[in-house]
Every structure is written in C-alpha cells, then in structure tokens.
C-alpha cells in the first residue's frame, strides 16, 4: 500500500511540475511575441512620424523658423529608427533582409536627399509626397517580414 501511494505521489508531482514548466514556457513565448509586436509597432510609428516631419519640412520654405528644428528632428529620427530596426533583428527574422535595408535607404534618401538643408531650396510638394510613399513601402515590407517570421516557425525567440 505504501509503495502504491508513493508511485501515485510521484505521478502527481511530475504532472504538477510539467504543468508549471509548460506554463512558464508558454508565458515566456507569449511575452516574446508581444514584445516583438510592440517593438515592430514602435518602429512603424517612428517611420510614420518621420515621414510626416519630412513632408512638413518639404512644404515649408528653408527660411521658416521651424526648419532648423525640423531638420534636426528628421536626421536624428533616422538614426533612432535604424537603431530600433537593428535591435529588433535579434527578435524578428527578416528585418535584415536586403529588401528592407534597400527600402530604409530609399526612405532616408526621399526624406533628406535632393536639396535637404540647402539654404535656397525650393518648396517641393513632390519630395513631400515621396517621403510618404517611401515610408509606406518600408512599413509594408516590415509588416510582411514579421508575418513571414511568425508563419515560418512556432518556436519562441526569447
């Protein structure tokens, strides 16, 4: 009788431990997924914000009082955006894909190329629009990379 109770106890303890460990594993997995989603959202929000700043910049004359600060916000935002993307490459596969890097470079060029920071540059609605288009293309590509990464594997990257 004693042995039977002992065997039963072993089974119950094993079951409790397994359930506990599985729970921890699943919550860590969910936490890593949520964290990646949140950081992807942050990255996309940063890109949209930068695109809006760039569009505002290209629709103002270079002599406007807002321009010096706008320039600084745009260029510093580009480094912030690249930093977020690089830090996310450890969590999300695909963010180092050549296509995303190419689109990021294209966005930088659309936002700050041409006559950016040039003292007598003309107002440019076409550059303002180009910044929005380049940002959209980049965001779509980042979201697609995230979806592909989720579909490719069920395992957490914690």
Residues in the site for another protein, rule: CB under 8 A? 71, 75-76, 78-79, 82-83, 86, 101-102, 104-105, 108-109, 111-120
> Nearer Cβ to another protein, position 102 or 148?
102
Smallest distance, another protein to C-beta of residue 89, A? 8
Smallest distance, another protein to C-beta of residue 109, A? 5
Smallest distance, another protein to C-beta of residue 19, A? 41
**Among candidate residues 46, 67, 47, the one with its CA nearest the CA of residue 56:** 67
Cα–chain center distance at 41: 6
Smallest distance, another protein to C-beta of residue 137, A? 14
> Nearer Cβ to another protein, position 116 or 142?
116
For helices 67-88 and 2-58, what crossing angle results, to 10°?
A: 150
8 Å CB contact between 84 and 43: yes
> Nearer Cβ to another protein, position 64 or 101?
101
> Nearer Cβ to another protein, position 79 or 155?
79
- Work out the number of other CB atoms within 10 angstroms of the CB of residue 103: 21
> Nearer Cβ to another protein, position 1 or 119?
119
Compute the distance between CA of residue 43 and CA of residue 69 in angstroms, rounded to an integer: 22
**Among candidate residues 4, 116, 24, the one with its CA nearest the CA of residue 70:** 116
Smallest distance, another protein to C-beta of residue 105, A? 5
8 Å CB contact between 142 and 44: yes
């Amino acid at each position: 009788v004693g042995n039977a109770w002992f065997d039963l106890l072993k089974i119950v303890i094993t079951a409790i431990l397994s359930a506990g460990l599985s729970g921890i594993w699943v919550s860590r997995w969910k936490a890593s997924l949520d964290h990646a989603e949140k950081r992807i959202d942050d990255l996309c929000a940063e890109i949209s914000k930068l695109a809006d700043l760039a569009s505002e910049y290209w629709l103002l004359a270079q002599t406007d009082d807002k321009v010096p600060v706008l320039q600084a916000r745009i260029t510093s935002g580009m480094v912030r955006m690249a930093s977020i993307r690089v830090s996310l490459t450890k969590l999300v596969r695909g963010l180092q894909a050549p296509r995303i890097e190419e689109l990021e470079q294209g966005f930088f060029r659309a936002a700050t190329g041409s006559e950016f920071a040039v003292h007598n540059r003309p107002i440019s609605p076409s550059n303002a629009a180009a910044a929005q288009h380049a940002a959209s293309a980049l965001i779509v590509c980042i979201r697609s990379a995230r979806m592909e990464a989720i579909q490719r594997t069920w395992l957490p990257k914690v």
